């Protein structure tokens, strides 16, 4: 379970995040939607202790993320290209992660094989091609795979469908749903695309100007409610 309590984050004296209470339950695929500047990425960075709030706390399980390291053992994320080590090849990058998480080479190869369709022959075995030289879509694939190969209990992804072609988007949705069913992992996914979110998320929150405006169970009516909300806002 991830719990946000009385969080206030400001930049240049302007409040960009103000969330009194938000709980993401174990095993949920929690979608976060909102327009540009709504506070989605700021919230994700707070969940990962990449930035600190002026007030409040974030808990992951029994751990306050700003005060302990234990939650990192079961948490994986990909927010942007800054999470990559772009002067490495994909093989070197995955090997580095495997070493950090004590995954042996045989097991790493097994886990990477599960991404074969997703990689589409364009990521591994590219003859010393460095990550910095890959397309945005393939960098996105490398980043997402780098999070999932650790088989985490908590997965946090920011706009994971960006830069992916339609086939890769479909494969990613299938992978994330399958991983959630197989492991019971908790997932938090932000996206601008309402269709992607409603297809895979069990619960969806709308964030606007740093405030959670609505919190919806995805019971078949979520897409209509989301479309109605954003149509009115526009």
Residue 21 within a domain: yes
Per residue in 50-100, pLDDT (tens digit) is: 999 999 999 999 999 999 999 999 999 999 999 999 999 999 999 999 999
Provide mean pLDDT across the span 218-234: 83
Check whether 8 has a pLDDT greater than 80.
yes
Which residue's entry shows tokens 């700003």? 66
Residue 127 within a domain: no
DSSP, collapsed to helix, strand or coil, labels residue 186 as strand
DSSP, collapsed to helix, strand or coil, labels residue 214 as strand
CB atoms within 10 A of CB 3: 15
Per residue in 121-179, pLDDT (tens digit) is: 999 999 889 999 999 999 999 999 999 999 999 999 999 999 999 999 999 999 999 99
The 3-class SS string of 143-176 reads: HHHHHHCCCCCEEEEECCCCCCCHHHHHHHHHHH
Provide mean pLDDT across the span 213-220: 91
Check whether 234 has a pLDDT greater than 80.
no
Q: What is the pLDDT of residue 61?
A: 94
Residue 59 within a domain: yes
Residue 207 within a domain: yes
For the whole model, what pTM was predicted?
0.95
User: Which residues constitute the domain of residue 24?
Assistant: 2-83+154-233
DSSP, collapsed to helix, strand or coil, labels residue 12 as coil
Provide mean pLDDT across the span 24-34: 97
Q: Which residue, 180, 161, 157, 162, is CA-closest to 171? A: 161
CA distances from 149 to 55, 80, 85, 96, 161 (A): 34, 17, 16, 12, 18
Cα–Cα dist 229/234, whole Å: 9
Q: What is the pLDDT of residue 144?
A: 98
Please list, in sequence order, all residues whose beta carbon lies within 8 angstroms of the beta carbon of residue 29, skipping any fewer than 6 positions away: 176, 177, 180, 187, 189, 200, 201, 202, 203
In the chain, what percentage of residues exceed pLDDT 70? 99
Check whether 200 has a pLDDT greater than 80.
yes
Residue 142 within a domain: no
Q: What is the pLDDT of residue 219?
A: 87
Residue 73 within a domain: yes
Residue 56 within a domain: yes
Query: Domain tally for the chain?
Result: 1
DSSP, collapsed to helix, strand or coil, labels residue 111 as helix
Residue 17 within a domain: yes
Check whether 231 has a pLDDT greater than 90.
no
CATH of the domain at 64: 3.40.50.300
What's the whole-number average pLDDT of the chain? 95
């Amino acid at each position: 379970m991830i719990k946000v309590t009385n969080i206030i984050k400001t930049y240049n004296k302007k409040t960009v995040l103000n969330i009194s209470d938000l709980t993401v339950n174990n095993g949920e695929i929690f979608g976060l939607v909102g327009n540009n500047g709504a506070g989605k990425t700021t919230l994700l960075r707070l969940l990962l202790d990449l930035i600190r709030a002026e007030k409040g706390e974030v808990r992951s399980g029994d751990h306050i993320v700003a005060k302990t390291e234990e939650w990192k053992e079961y948490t994986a994320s990909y927010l942007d290209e800054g999470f990559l080590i772009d002067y490495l090849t994909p093989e070197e990058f995955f090997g580095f992660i495997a070493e950090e998480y004590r995954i042996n080479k045989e097991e790493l190869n097994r886990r990477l094989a599960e991404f074969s369709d997703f990689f589409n022959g364009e990521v591994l075995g590219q003859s010393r091609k460095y990550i910095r030289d890959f397309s945005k879509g393939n960098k996105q694939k490398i980043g997402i795979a780098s999070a999932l190969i650790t088989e985490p209990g908590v997965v946090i992804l920011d706009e994971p469908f960006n830069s992916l072609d339609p086939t890769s988007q479909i494969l990613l949705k299938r992978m994330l749903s399958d991983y959630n069913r197989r492991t019971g992992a908790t997932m938090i996914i932000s996206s601008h695309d309402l269709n992607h979110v409603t297809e895979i998320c069990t619960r969806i929150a709308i964030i606007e100007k740093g405030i959670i405006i609505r919190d919806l169970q995805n019971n078949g009516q979520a897409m209509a409610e989301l479309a109605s909300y954003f149509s009115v806002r526009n």
